[in-house]
Amino acid sequence: MGAKTALYQEHLSLGAKIVDFAGWDMPLHYGSQVEEHYKVRGEAGMFDVSHMTFVDLNGARVREFLRYLLANNVDRLQTYGRALYTCMLNEQGGVVDDLIVYFLDEERFRLVVNAGTHDKDMAWIERHATAYDVTVNEITDVALLAIQGPDARHKVHHLLSDVQREKAQALVPFNAVETEGFFISRTGYTGEDGYEVMIPRDQVVDFWRRLHKAGVHPVGLGARDTLRLEAGMDLYSAEMDEETSPLEAGLKWTVAWEPLDRDFIGRKALEPQYNATPARKLVGLILDDRGVLRSHQRVILDGEVIGKVTSGSFSPTLGKAIAFARVPFDVGERVLVEMRGKQLPARVVKPPFVRHGKACFE
Amino acid sequence: MSNAPSHLRYTRSHEWIETISDGTYRIGISDHAQDLLGDMVFIELPEVGSTVSASDECAVVESVKAASDVYSPLSGEIIEINEALEDSPDLVNRDPYGDGWLFTVKASDSSELDELMSADEYVVLTNEE
Protein backbone atom coordinates (compact mmCIF):
# COMPACT_ATOMS: atom_id res chain seq x y z
CA MET A 1 0.00 0.00 0.00
CA GLY A 2 1.52 3.24 -1.12
CA ALA A 3 0.66 6.88 -0.73
CA LYS A 4 -2.48 8.00 -2.55
CA THR A 5 -3.35 11.23 -4.29
CA ALA A 6 -6.69 12.96 -3.79
CA LEU A 7 -7.82 11.37 -7.07
CA TYR A 8 -7.11 7.75 -6.15
CA GLN A 9 -10.79 6.77 -5.90
CA GLU A 10 -11.48 8.48 -9.24
CA HIS A 11 -8.75 6.37 -10.84
CA LEU A 12 -10.24 3.19 -9.41
CA SER A 13 -13.73 4.03 -10.57
CA LEU A 14 -12.38 4.71 -14.08
CA GLY A 15 -10.90 1.20 -14.12
CA ALA A 16 -7.26 2.21 -13.75
CA LYS A 17 -4.55 -0.39 -13.44
CA ILE A 18 -2.66 0.85 -10.40
CA VAL A 19 1.11 0.51 -10.05
CA ASP A 20 3.65 1.59 -7.49
CA PHE A 21 5.56 4.66 -8.59
CA ALA A 22 8.11 6.01 -6.10
CA GLY A 23 5.95 4.84 -3.21
CA TRP A 24 2.70 6.19 -4.70
CA ASP A 25 -0.22 4.13 -5.98
CA MET A 26 -0.64 5.66 -9.42
CA PRO A 27 -2.62 4.82 -12.57
CA LEU A 28 -0.54 3.05 -15.25
CA HIS A 29 -3.42 3.18 -17.72
CA TYR A 30 -7.22 3.08 -17.78
CA GLY A 31 -7.48 0.24 -20.32
CA SER A 32 -5.08 1.02 -23.15
CA GLN A 33 -2.02 3.21 -22.83
CA VAL A 34 -1.64 3.36 -26.62
CA GLU A 35 -5.18 4.75 -26.98
CA GLU A 36 -4.44 7.26 -24.25
CA HIS A 37 -1.29 8.30 -26.10
CA TYR A 38 -3.30 8.98 -29.26
CA LYS A 39 -5.86 11.00 -27.31
CA VAL A 40 -3.15 13.38 -26.10
CA ARG A 41 -1.60 13.71 -29.57
CA GLY A 42 -4.96 14.27 -31.25
CA GLU A 43 -7.37 15.72 -28.68
CA ALA A 44 -6.84 16.24 -24.98
CA GLY A 45 -5.80 14.08 -22.05
CA MET A 46 -5.42 14.65 -18.33
CA PHE A 47 -2.83 13.25 -15.97
CA ASP A 48 -2.86 13.18 -12.19
CA VAL A 49 0.68 14.22 -11.30
CA SER A 50 -0.07 15.15 -7.71
CA HIS A 51 2.64 12.77 -6.55
CA MET A 52 5.29 15.26 -7.62
CA THR A 53 6.95 17.47 -5.03
CA PHE A 54 6.09 21.16 -4.79
CA VAL A 55 8.35 23.48 -2.85
CA ASP A 56 8.06 27.20 -2.19
CA LEU A 57 11.22 29.09 -1.33
CA ASN A 58 10.86 32.36 0.53
CA GLY A 59 13.34 35.01 1.56
CA ALA A 60 15.00 38.24 0.58
CA ARG A 61 17.99 36.34 -0.86
CA VAL A 62 16.05 33.60 -2.67
CA ARG A 63 17.23 34.62 -6.17
CA GLU A 64 20.83 34.68 -5.03
CA PHE A 65 20.33 31.22 -3.48
CA LEU A 66 18.89 29.77 -6.69
CA ARG A 67 21.68 31.28 -8.77
CA TYR A 68 23.97 29.04 -6.71
CA LEU A 69 21.72 25.97 -6.37
CA LEU A 70 20.71 25.51 -10.03
CA ALA A 71 22.76 24.93 -13.18
CA ASN A 72 20.45 27.05 -15.30
CA ASN A 73 20.40 30.74 -14.41
CA VAL A 74 17.33 32.08 -12.62
CA ASP A 75 18.31 35.53 -13.84
CA ARG A 76 16.63 34.40 -17.06
CA LEU A 77 13.43 34.78 -15.06
CA GLN A 78 12.56 38.47 -15.00
CA THR A 79 8.76 38.54 -15.30
CA TYR A 80 6.32 37.15 -12.74
CA GLY A 81 5.19 33.62 -13.46
CA ARG A 82 8.03 32.79 -15.83
CA ALA A 83 9.27 29.17 -15.65
CA LEU A 84 12.69 27.63 -16.29
CA TYR A 85 13.77 24.00 -16.75
CA THR A 86 17.01 23.22 -14.98
CA CYS A 87 19.18 20.59 -13.39
CA MET A 88 20.29 20.73 -9.79
CA LEU A 89 23.85 19.37 -9.72
CA ASN A 90 26.07 17.91 -7.03
CA GLU A 91 29.68 19.02 -6.47
CA GLN A 92 30.87 16.36 -8.94
CA GLY A 93 28.67 17.74 -11.70
CA GLY A 94 26.22 14.82 -11.51
CA VAL A 95 22.49 15.48 -11.51
CA VAL A 96 20.70 15.47 -8.14
CA ASP A 97 17.42 16.10 -9.95
CA ASP A 98 15.86 18.01 -12.82
CA LEU A 99 13.07 20.45 -12.05
CA ILE A 100 11.01 23.43 -13.07
CA VAL A 101 11.50 26.69 -11.19
CA TYR A 102 8.89 29.47 -11.25
CA PHE A 103 9.49 33.13 -10.42
CA LEU A 104 6.51 34.26 -8.34
CA ASP A 105 7.91 37.44 -6.84
CA GLU A 106 11.32 38.76 -5.74
CA GLU A 107 11.05 36.92 -2.43
CA ARG A 108 9.24 33.79 -3.59
CA PHE A 109 10.12 31.09 -6.12
CA ARG A 110 8.42 27.73 -6.60
CA LEU A 111 10.06 24.42 -7.53
CA VAL A 112 8.39 21.32 -8.95
CA VAL A 113 10.70 18.34 -8.47
CA ASN A 114 10.39 14.59 -9.03
CA ALA A 115 8.51 12.26 -6.70
CA GLY A 116 11.20 9.60 -6.80
CA THR A 117 13.82 11.98 -5.42
CA HIS A 118 11.64 13.70 -2.81
CA ASP A 119 13.70 12.93 0.29
CA LYS A 120 17.15 13.65 -1.07
CA ASP A 121 15.95 16.78 -2.89
CA MET A 122 14.37 18.22 0.24
CA ALA A 123 17.50 17.46 2.26
CA TRP A 124 19.74 18.94 -0.43
CA ILE A 125 17.71 22.14 -0.81
CA GLU A 126 17.35 22.66 2.94
CA ARG A 127 21.04 22.06 3.52
CA HIS A 128 22.02 24.81 1.10
CA ALA A 129 19.16 27.21 1.89
CA THR A 130 20.28 27.91 5.45
CA ALA A 131 23.25 30.05 4.43
CA TYR A 132 20.91 32.33 2.46
CA ASP A 133 18.18 32.57 5.13
CA VAL A 134 15.76 31.05 2.67
CA THR A 135 12.82 29.13 4.12
CA VAL A 136 11.82 25.91 2.38
CA ASN A 137 8.11 25.08 2.46
CA GLU A 138 6.79 21.93 0.88
CA ILE A 139 3.22 22.41 -0.34
CA THR A 140 1.15 19.33 0.42
CA ASP A 141 -2.44 20.58 0.33
CA VAL A 142 -2.59 20.79 -3.46
CA ALA A 143 -3.06 18.47 -6.40
CA LEU A 144 -1.45 18.86 -9.82
CA LEU A 145 -3.25 18.01 -13.04
CA ALA A 146 -1.58 18.12 -16.45
CA ILE A 147 -4.09 18.70 -19.25
CA GLN A 148 -2.32 18.20 -22.57
CA GLY A 149 -3.12 18.00 -26.25
CA PRO A 150 -4.23 20.25 -29.11
CA ASP A 151 -7.68 20.76 -27.53
CA ALA A 152 -6.46 20.92 -23.94
CA ARG A 153 -6.32 24.68 -23.34
CA HIS A 154 -9.68 25.27 -24.95
CA LYS A 155 -11.29 22.58 -22.78
CA VAL A 156 -9.76 24.01 -19.61
CA HIS A 157 -10.83 27.57 -20.44
CA HIS A 158 -14.48 26.52 -20.34
CA LEU A 159 -14.14 25.33 -16.75
CA LEU A 160 -12.46 28.43 -15.36
CA SER A 161 -13.98 31.56 -13.87
CA ASP A 162 -13.95 34.68 -16.08
CA VAL A 163 -10.96 36.08 -14.22
CA GLN A 164 -9.02 32.80 -14.37
CA ARG A 165 -9.83 32.31 -18.04
CA GLU A 166 -8.63 35.75 -19.03
CA LYS A 167 -5.34 35.22 -17.23
CA ALA A 168 -4.84 31.71 -18.61
CA GLN A 169 -5.57 32.80 -22.19
CA ALA A 170 -2.88 35.46 -21.89
CA LEU A 171 -0.17 32.96 -20.91
CA VAL A 172 2.60 32.30 -23.39
CA PRO A 173 4.44 28.96 -23.18
CA PHE A 174 6.55 28.43 -20.07
CA ASN A 175 4.62 30.97 -18.04
CA ALA A 176 2.28 30.57 -15.11
CA VAL A 177 -0.19 32.63 -13.13
CA GLU A 178 -1.72 32.40 -9.68
CA THR A 179 -5.40 33.19 -9.81
CA GLU A 180 -8.26 32.59 -7.36
CA GLY A 181 -6.54 29.68 -5.68
CA PHE A 182 -5.38 28.02 -8.91
CA PHE A 183 -1.81 28.05 -10.17
CA ILE A 184 -2.07 27.68 -13.94
CA SER A 185 1.09 26.96 -15.91
CA ARG A 186 1.48 26.59 -19.67
CA THR A 187 3.94 23.72 -19.37
CA GLY A 188 3.93 19.96 -19.75
CA TYR A 189 5.84 16.78 -20.42
CA THR A 190 4.24 15.55 -23.64
CA GLY A 191 5.40 17.86 -26.43
CA GLU A 192 1.84 19.14 -26.82
CA ASP A 193 0.33 22.45 -25.82
CA GLY A 194 -1.58 22.47 -22.55
CA TYR A 195 -1.54 23.38 -18.90
CA GLU A 196 -0.37 22.06 -15.60
CA VAL A 197 -2.86 23.27 -13.02
CA MET A 198 -2.20 23.26 -9.29
CA ILE A 199 -5.49 23.08 -7.45
CA PRO A 200 -6.39 22.99 -3.74
CA ARG A 201 -6.66 19.33 -2.81
CA ASP A 202 -10.32 19.62 -1.75
CA GLN A 203 -11.35 21.02 -5.16
CA VAL A 204 -9.50 18.64 -7.45
CA VAL A 205 -12.05 15.81 -7.61
CA ASP A 206 -14.71 18.22 -8.82
CA PHE A 207 -12.37 19.76 -11.40
CA TRP A 208 -11.25 16.32 -12.63
CA ARG A 209 -14.87 15.21 -13.07
CA ARG A 210 -15.76 18.36 -14.96
CA LEU A 211 -12.78 17.88 -17.26
CA HIS A 212 -13.84 14.29 -17.86
CA LYS A 213 -17.38 15.39 -18.63
CA ALA A 214 -15.96 17.95 -21.08
CA GLY A 215 -14.32 15.08 -23.01
CA VAL A 216 -10.80 15.19 -21.59
CA HIS A 217 -9.51 11.61 -21.40
CA PRO A 218 -7.75 10.29 -18.31
CA VAL A 219 -4.19 9.23 -19.14
CA GLY A 220 -1.86 7.12 -17.02
CA LEU A 221 1.86 6.97 -16.43
CA GLY A 222 2.35 4.49 -19.29
CA ALA A 223 1.38 7.00 -21.95
CA ARG A 224 3.10 9.78 -20.03
CA ASP A 225 6.36 7.91 -20.63
CA THR A 226 5.84 7.28 -24.36
CA LEU A 227 4.68 10.88 -24.88
CA ARG A 228 7.74 12.37 -23.23
CA LEU A 229 10.03 9.95 -25.06
CA GLU A 230 8.57 10.93 -28.45
CA ALA A 231 8.91 14.58 -27.44
CA GLY A 232 12.61 14.04 -26.71
CA MET A 233 12.40 14.82 -23.01
CA ASP A 234 14.71 13.25 -20.46
CA LEU A 235 13.53 11.27 -17.46
CA TYR A 236 15.47 11.53 -14.23
CA SER A 237 17.18 8.25 -13.23
CA ALA A 238 16.95 6.99 -16.84
CA GLU A 239 18.81 9.59 -18.92
CA MET A 240 20.65 11.19 -16.02
CA ASP A 241 21.52 10.58 -12.41
CA GLU A 242 24.10 11.57 -9.83
CA GLU A 243 26.87 9.89 -11.82
CA THR A 244 25.93 11.47 -15.15
CA SER A 245 26.87 14.94 -16.28
CA PRO A 246 24.10 16.96 -17.94
CA LEU A 247 26.58 17.46 -20.81
CA GLU A 248 26.27 13.74 -21.57
CA ALA A 249 22.50 13.70 -21.18
CA GLY A 250 21.59 16.11 -23.97
CA LEU A 251 21.13 18.92 -21.45
CA LYS A 252 24.02 21.25 -22.24
CA TRP A 253 21.42 23.86 -23.26
CA THR A 254 20.17 23.96 -19.67
CA VAL A 255 23.59 24.71 -18.17
CA ALA A 256 23.99 28.50 -18.18
CA TRP A 257 27.75 28.93 -18.47
CA GLU A 258 27.63 32.69 -18.73
CA PRO A 259 28.06 34.94 -16.89
CA LEU A 260 31.39 33.29 -16.15
CA ASP A 261 31.49 34.68 -12.63
CA ARG A 262 28.25 32.98 -11.54
CA ASP A 263 29.27 30.20 -9.20
CA PHE A 264 26.82 27.29 -9.04
CA ILE A 265 27.09 23.86 -7.47
CA GLY A 266 28.84 21.55 -9.94
CA ARG A 267 30.38 24.34 -12.03
CA LYS A 268 33.99 23.55 -11.07
CA ALA A 269 33.54 19.88 -11.94
CA LEU A 270 32.04 20.71 -15.34
CA GLU A 271 34.74 23.28 -16.15
CA PRO A 272 37.14 20.93 -17.98
CA GLN A 273 34.27 19.29 -19.91
CA TYR A 274 32.25 22.30 -20.91
CA ASN A 275 34.25 23.46 -23.92
CA ALA A 276 35.75 20.07 -24.70
CA THR A 277 34.22 17.33 -26.80
CA PRO A 278 32.48 15.01 -24.33
CA ALA A 279 33.31 11.32 -24.44
CA ARG A 280 29.67 10.33 -24.73
CA LYS A 281 26.40 11.85 -25.78
CA LEU A 282 22.72 11.06 -25.70
CA VAL A 283 21.15 10.22 -29.07
CA GLY A 284 17.83 9.00 -30.36
CA LEU A 285 17.44 5.55 -31.92
CA ILE A 286 14.76 4.29 -34.27
CA LEU A 287 14.27 0.59 -34.91
CA ASP A 288 12.88 -0.18 -38.36
CA ASP A 289 12.57 -3.90 -37.64
CA ARG A 290 9.83 -5.40 -35.51
CA GLY A 291 10.80 -5.34 -31.87
CA VAL A 292 10.85 -2.91 -28.99
CA LEU A 293 13.82 -0.95 -27.71
CA ARG A 294 13.98 -1.06 -23.93
CA SER A 295 16.20 0.46 -21.27
CA HIS A 296 19.49 -1.35 -20.51
CA GLN A 297 19.72 -3.00 -23.94
CA ARG A 298 23.29 -2.94 -25.22
CA VAL A 299 24.30 -0.83 -28.22
CA ILE A 300 26.84 -2.56 -30.46
CA LEU A 301 29.15 -1.36 -33.22
CA ASP A 302 31.77 -3.47 -35.01
CA GLY A 303 31.27 -6.26 -32.52
CA GLU A 304 31.86 -4.08 -29.48
CA VAL A 305 29.49 -2.78 -26.85
CA ILE A 306 29.62 1.00 -27.22
CA GLY A 307 26.74 2.08 -25.04
CA LYS A 308 23.29 1.31 -23.75
CA VAL A 309 19.69 2.29 -24.16
CA THR A 310 18.60 4.62 -21.34
CA SER A 311 14.86 4.66 -22.20
CA GLY A 312 13.03 2.84 -24.92
CA SER A 313 9.51 1.99 -25.93
CA PHE A 314 7.12 1.57 -28.78
CA SER A 315 6.22 4.92 -30.33
CA PRO A 316 2.54 4.93 -31.25
CA THR A 317 3.03 7.95 -33.52
CA LEU A 318 5.87 6.39 -35.54
CA GLY A 319 4.52 2.85 -35.29
CA LYS A 320 7.97 1.56 -34.38
CA ALA A 321 10.30 1.41 -31.43
CA ILE A 322 12.27 4.48 -30.38
CA ALA A 323 14.83 5.08 -27.66
CA PHE A 324 17.42 7.28 -26.10
CA ALA A 325 20.89 5.77 -25.87
CA ARG A 326 24.18 7.00 -24.47
CA VAL A 327 26.96 6.31 -26.98
CA PRO A 328 30.42 7.64 -27.92
CA PHE A 329 30.33 11.22 -29.20
CA ASP A 330 31.58 10.27 -32.69
CA VAL A 331 28.94 7.57 -33.30
CA GLY A 332 27.82 7.18 -36.92
CA GLU A 333 24.35 6.95 -38.39
CA ARG A 334 23.73 3.29 -37.61
CA VAL A 335 24.29 0.96 -34.68
CA LEU A 336 23.06 -2.46 -33.62
CA VAL A 337 20.96 -3.02 -30.53
CA GLU A 338 20.95 -6.36 -28.75
CA MET A 339 17.55 -7.76 -27.84
CA ARG A 340 16.37 -11.24 -27.12
CA GLY A 341 19.55 -12.85 -28.43
CA LYS A 342 19.50 -10.89 -31.70
CA GLN A 343 21.27 -7.77 -32.89
CA LEU A 344 18.96 -5.48 -34.84
CA PRO A 345 20.03 -2.35 -36.77
CA ALA A 346 18.88 1.03 -35.45
CA ARG A 347 19.11 4.51 -36.95
CA VAL A 348 20.85 7.18 -34.90
CA VAL A 349 18.83 10.42 -34.90
CA LYS A 350 18.54 13.67 -33.03
CA PRO A 351 15.40 13.84 -30.86
CA PRO A 352 12.59 14.88 -30.72
CA PHE A 353 10.86 12.08 -32.60
CA VAL A 354 7.50 13.88 -32.67
CA ARG A 355 6.72 17.59 -32.76
CA HIS A 356 3.24 19.10 -32.40
CA GLY A 357 1.65 15.72 -33.03
CA LYS A 358 3.63 15.03 -36.21
CA ALA A 359 6.38 12.46 -36.67
CA CYS A 360 9.81 14.01 -37.37
CA PHE A 361 11.08 10.80 -38.98
CA GLU A 362 9.72 8.11 -41.25
CA MET B 1 -10.83 -11.01 -12.13
CA SER B 2 -10.11 -12.04 -15.69
CA ASN B 3 -12.35 -14.43 -17.55
CA ALA B 4 -11.55 -17.95 -18.71
CA PRO B 5 -14.21 -19.63 -20.89
CA SER B 6 -15.04 -23.11 -19.68
CA HIS B 7 -14.91 -24.80 -23.10
CA LEU B 8 -11.16 -24.11 -23.39
CA ARG B 9 -8.14 -25.83 -21.83
CA TYR B 10 -5.23 -23.87 -20.37
CA THR B 11 -1.52 -24.08 -19.57
CA ARG B 12 0.48 -22.80 -16.62
CA SER B 13 2.20 -20.42 -19.05
CA HIS B 14 -1.18 -18.81 -19.89
CA GLU B 15 -1.96 -20.26 -23.32
CA TRP B 16 -5.49 -21.44 -24.09
CA ILE B 17 -6.38 -24.36 -26.36
CA GLU B 18 -9.60 -24.78 -28.27
CA THR B 19 -10.60 -27.98 -30.01
CA ILE B 20 -11.46 -27.10 -33.62
CA SER B 21 -12.00 -30.62 -34.85
CA ASP B 22 -10.60 -33.97 -33.95
CA GLY B 23 -6.82 -33.53 -33.82
CA THR B 24 -6.81 -29.81 -34.67
CA TYR B 25 -6.42 -27.18 -32.00
CA ARG B 26 -6.39 -23.39 -31.93
CA ILE B 27 -4.01 -21.64 -29.52
CA GLY B 28 -4.01 -18.17 -28.01
CA ILE B 29 -3.07 -16.39 -24.81
CA SER B 30 -5.49 -15.90 -21.94
CA ASP B 31 -7.28 -12.73 -20.93
CA HIS B 32 -5.20 -12.79 -17.75
CA ALA B 33 -1.97 -12.86 -19.80
CA GLN B 34 -2.95 -10.02 -22.14
CA ASP B 35 -4.07 -7.96 -19.16
CA LEU B 36 -0.70 -8.42 -17.44
CA LEU B 37 1.23 -7.56 -20.59
CA GLY B 38 -0.81 -4.52 -21.64
CA ASP B 39 -1.09 -3.13 -25.17
CA MET B 40 0.38 -5.50 -27.76
CA VAL B 41 2.64 -3.92 -30.35
CA PHE B 42 4.18 -6.86 -32.23
CA ILE B 43 3.24 -10.51 -32.55
CA GLU B 44 5.76 -12.95 -34.02
CA LEU B 45 4.13 -16.16 -35.21
CA PRO B 46 5.59 -19.51 -36.30
CA GLU B 47 5.73 -20.50 -39.96
CA VAL B 48 2.89 -22.49 -41.39
CA GLY B 49 4.15 -26.02 -42.01
CA SER B 50 6.73 -25.97 -39.23
CA THR B 51 6.62 -28.69 -36.60
CA VAL B 52 6.68 -28.01 -32.89
CA SER B 53 7.03 -30.07 -29.75
CA ALA B 54 4.98 -29.48 -26.65
CA SER B 55 6.50 -26.63 -24.56
CA ASP B 56 8.60 -25.33 -27.47
CA GLU B 57 8.80 -21.56 -27.73
CA CYS B 58 7.00 -20.93 -30.97
CA ALA B 59 5.69 -17.36 -30.88
CA VAL B 60 6.46 -14.07 -29.21
CA VAL B 61 3.94 -11.51 -28.04
CA GLU B 62 5.52 -8.13 -27.44
CA SER B 63 3.65 -5.45 -25.55
CA VAL B 64 4.49 -1.94 -24.44
CA LYS B 65 5.66 -3.55 -21.23
CA ALA B 66 7.59 -6.69 -22.19
CA ALA B 67 8.25 -9.39 -24.74
CA SER B 68 6.90 -12.76 -23.75
CA ASP B 69 7.41 -16.20 -25.29
CA VAL B 70 4.42 -18.29 -26.21
CA TYR B 71 4.86 -22.05 -25.82
CA SER B 72 3.11 -24.61 -27.93
CA PRO B 73 0.92 -26.65 -25.59
CA LEU B 74 0.90 -29.55 -28.07
CA SER B 75 3.29 -31.30 -30.43
CA GLY B 76 2.43 -31.29 -34.09
CA GLU B 77 2.38 -29.18 -37.22
CA ILE B 78 1.45 -25.49 -37.46
CA ILE B 79 -1.31 -25.46 -40.07
CA GLU B 80 -2.60 -21.92 -39.79
CA ILE B 81 -1.55 -18.60 -38.26
CA ASN B 82 -3.61 -15.49 -37.54
CA GLU B 83 -2.29 -13.13 -40.18
CA ALA B 84 -4.55 -10.30 -39.03
CA LEU B 85 -2.22 -9.85 -36.05
CA GLU B 86 0.51 -8.48 -38.31
CA ASP B 87 -1.40 -5.21 -38.71
CA SER B 88 -3.63 -5.41 -35.64
CA PRO B 89 -1.74 -6.89 -32.70
CA ASP B 90 -4.30 -5.20 -30.44
CA LEU B 91 -6.79 -7.96 -31.38
CA VAL B 92 -5.03 -10.00 -28.69
CA ASN B 93 -6.04 -7.36 -26.15
CA ARG B 94 -9.53 -6.77 -27.44
CA ASP B 95 -10.59 -10.34 -28.08
CA PRO B 96 -8.03 -12.78 -26.64
CA TYR B 97 -10.29 -15.84 -27.04
CA GLY B 98 -11.70 -14.90 -30.44
CA ASP B 99 -10.12 -12.70 -33.14
CA GLY B 100 -6.92 -12.57 -31.11
CA TRP B 101 -6.05 -16.27 -31.57
CA LEU B 102 -2.45 -16.98 -32.55
CA PHE B 103 -2.08 -20.28 -34.46
CA THR B 104 -3.60 -23.67 -35.15
CA VAL B 105 -1.81 -26.96 -34.54
CA LYS B 106 -2.52 -30.36 -36.03
CA ALA B 107 -1.56 -32.42 -33.01
CA SER B 108 0.55 -35.55 -33.41
CA ASP B 109 -0.32 -36.84 -29.93
CA SER B 110 -3.73 -35.87 -28.62
CA SER B 111 -2.97 -37.51 -25.28
CA GLU B 112 -0.91 -34.38 -24.47
CA LEU B 113 -4.25 -32.68 -24.04
CA ASP B 114 -4.75 -34.58 -20.79
CA GLU B 115 -1.89 -32.58 -19.24
CA LEU B 116 -3.74 -29.28 -19.70
CA MET B 117 -5.82 -27.47 -17.12
CA SER B 118 -9.54 -26.90 -17.06
CA ALA B 119 -10.90 -23.35 -16.80
CA ASP B 120 -11.59 -23.85 -13.09
CA GLU B 121 -8.05 -25.00 -12.41
CA TYR B 122 -6.67 -22.10 -14.45
CA VAL B 123 -8.70 -19.53 -12.55
CA VAL B 124 -7.35 -20.93 -9.28
CA LEU B 125 -3.82 -20.55 -10.67
CA THR B 126 -4.34 -16.94 -11.77
CA ASN B 127 -5.89 -16.03 -8.44
CA GLU B 128 -2.78 -17.33 -6.68
CA GLU B 129 -0.47 -15.16 -8.80
Q: Are strands A358-359 and A83-89 parallel, antiparallel or unpaired?
A: unpaired
A24 and A167 part of one domain: yes
A302 and A220 part of one domain: no
Look at residue B124 and tell me if it is in a domain.
no
Tell me the residue range of the domain where B45 lies. 9-117
pLDDT of residue B99: 98
A146 and A9 part of one domain: yes
Task: Kindly give, in sequence order, each residue whose CB lies less than 8 Å from that of residue A41, ignoring residues fewer than 6 positions away.
Answer: A149, A192, A227, A316, A317, A354, A357
> Which chain A residues contact residue B38 at CB under 8 A?
17, 28-29, 33, 222
| Cα–Cα distance measured from residue B22 to residue A166, given in angstroms and rounded to the nearest whole number | 71
Task: Quote the DSSP letter at residue A352.
Answer: P
Please return the burial class of A106, using the count of CB atoms within 10 Å of its CB with bins 0-12, 13-18 and 19+: exposed
- The number of domains in chain A is 2
A46 and A154 part of one domain: yes
Q: Do B93 and A32 touch (CB under 8 A)?
A: yes
- The number of domains in chain B is 1
A17 and A127 part of one domain: yes
pLDDT digits (tens, 9 = 90+) for A265-277: 999 999 999 999 9
Q: Which of A252, A276, A300 is the last residue of a domain?
A: A276
Cα B94 from chain centre: 15
Check which CATH number belongs to the domain holding A131 and give it.
Answer: 3.30.1360.120
pLDDT of residue A244: 96
Q: Which of A257, A276, A295 is the last residue of a domain?
A: A276
pLDDT digits (tens, 9 = 90+) for A207-248: 999 999 999 999 999 999 999 999 999 999 999 999 999 999
pLDDT of residue A98: 98
**Using CB atoms, which residue from A32, A339, A340 is nearest to B39?**
A32
Q: Do B64 and A222 touch (CB under 8 A)?
A: yes
A172 and A208 part of one domain: yes
**A298 pLDDT more than 90:** yes
pLDDT of residue B129: 72
pLDDT digits (tens, 9 = 90+) for B2-43: 689 999 999 999 999 999 998 999 999 999 999 999 999 999
**Using CB atoms, which residue from A28, A292, A339 is nearest to B41?**
A292
A190 and A241 part of one domain: yes
Check which CATH number belongs to the domain holding B21 and give it.
Answer: 2.40.50.100
Q: Do A313 and B64 touch (CB under 8 A)?
A: yes
Q: Which of A243, A276, A309 is the last residue of a domain?
A: A276
* Pairs of residues, one from chain A and one from chain B, whose beta carbons lie less than 8 Å apart: 36
Mean pLDDT of chain A: 97
A219 and A160 part of one domain: yes
Of all residues in chain B, the percent with pLDDT exceeding 90 is 93
pLDDT of residue A127: 98
pLDDT of residue A362: 87
**A85 pLDDT more than 60:** yes
A103 and A118 part of one domain: yes
Query: Given pLDDT bands bounded at 50, 70 and 90, which one contains residue B110?
Result: confident
Q: Do B64 and A291 touch (CB under 8 A)?
A: no
Tell me the residue range of the domain where A52 lies. 1-276
One-letter amino acid for residue B118 of the chain: S
